[in-house]
Amino acid sequence: MSAASAESTLPAPVERRARPFRLSGRGVVILGAIIVLILIYATDQVVPATSERQAELRIWLAARAAGIAAFLLLTFQIAAGLVLSHPTNKSTWKLSKRIFPWHEHLWVFVFAFLLIHVVSLVLDPYAGVGVGGALIPGLSSYRSSPVALGTLATYAFLVTALSARYTRILPSGAWLSIHRIALLVWVLAWLHGILAGTDAEALRAMYVSSGLAIVAAGAYRYWASRQGRPTFTTTRSEVTQ
């Protein structure tokens, strides 16, 4: 066989095309949060406040609204987790297919609103929080201890969310042990909202109703487990079968 014929029998090289960059759903949410932050800051710089009071409130209102949104979404996520792990869910309620996707993905939205909340407070010269106060518990000049609770809640939330997202890199069962501190995350966030917010009295109904709902759901779930009825974890494979 000649060299020319041998070369003709070789397979043609496969042309590799670069995959187009596609932003995931989570990326879209986080990018949206960043854009909102830019718009808030740009508006504050471009459109001058008409009064000192308006200047004080503009960014603070954005931060407070984002914090409330994050808290309400976290409340729903925690309640969904308590339903998913309740003994009656597997035997009678059978709500996993409906609830699990919400429970699994809500953390991205909670994080997006948290990002807006924290960065807005850092950008707000009237808030008295600053970068140090936002990142290190106890350094805020404004209500140091209540703000510290929020910082701790944020870190604990990220640990629970990321450990559940990347279970494969953790030892077997470790993610579940970490995930059980989610209730502590909610308690810290609840206390932070009540003690750090200047409008907590106006939001009393929200804090009382959310507190009663989580306490009742948690008590019912753990009461059932004390009766010898096994609790469960819900996985993606169970809801996609």
Q: Could you state, in order of their start, the residue ranges of all structural domains in the chain?
A: 57-225
What are the tokens at 5?
């014929």
The pLDDT score that the predictor gives to residue 151 is 96
The pLDDT score that the predictor gives to residue 169 is 83
Neighbours of 82 (CB within 10 A): 23
Q: Does 148 have pLDDT greater than 70?
A: yes
Contact between residue 96 and residue 234 where contact means Cβ atoms under 8 Å apart = yes
The pLDDT score that the predictor gives to residue 79 is 86
The pLDDT score that the predictor gives to residue 179 is 83
Contact between residue 200 and residue 65 where contact means Cβ atoms under 8 Å apart = no
The pLDDT score that the predictor gives to residue 104 is 75
Range 202-207 average pLDDT = 91
Residue 150, C-beta contacts closer than 8 angstroms, at least 6 positions apart: 188, 189, 192, 196
User: Where residue 137 falls among pLDDT bands split at 50, 70, 90?
Assistant: very high
In percent, how much of the chain has pLDDT > 70?
65
Contacts 24+ apart (CB under 8 A), 96-102: 96/234, 96/238, 96/239, 97/239, 100/234, 100/236, 100/238, 100/239, 101/239, 102/76, 102/77
User: Where residue 240 falls among pLDDT bands split at 50, 70, 90?
Assistant: very low
Dist CA 160 CA 180 (whole Å): 8
Can you give the three-state secondary structure of 137-196, one letter per residue? CCCCCCCHHHHHHHHHHHHHHHHHHHHHHCHHHCCCCHHHHHHCCHHHHHHHHHHHHHHH
Between 225 and 170, the higher pLDDT residue: 170
Q: Does 193 have pLDDT greater than 80?
A: yes
Q: Does 241 have pLDDT greater than 50?
A: no
Contacts 24+ apart (CB under 8 A), 35-42: 36/116, 37/115, 37/116, 37/119, 37/120, 37/123, 40/116, 40/120, 40/123, 41/123
User: Where residue 124 falls among pLDDT bands split at 50, 70, 90?
Assistant: confident
| SS3 state of residue 214 | helix
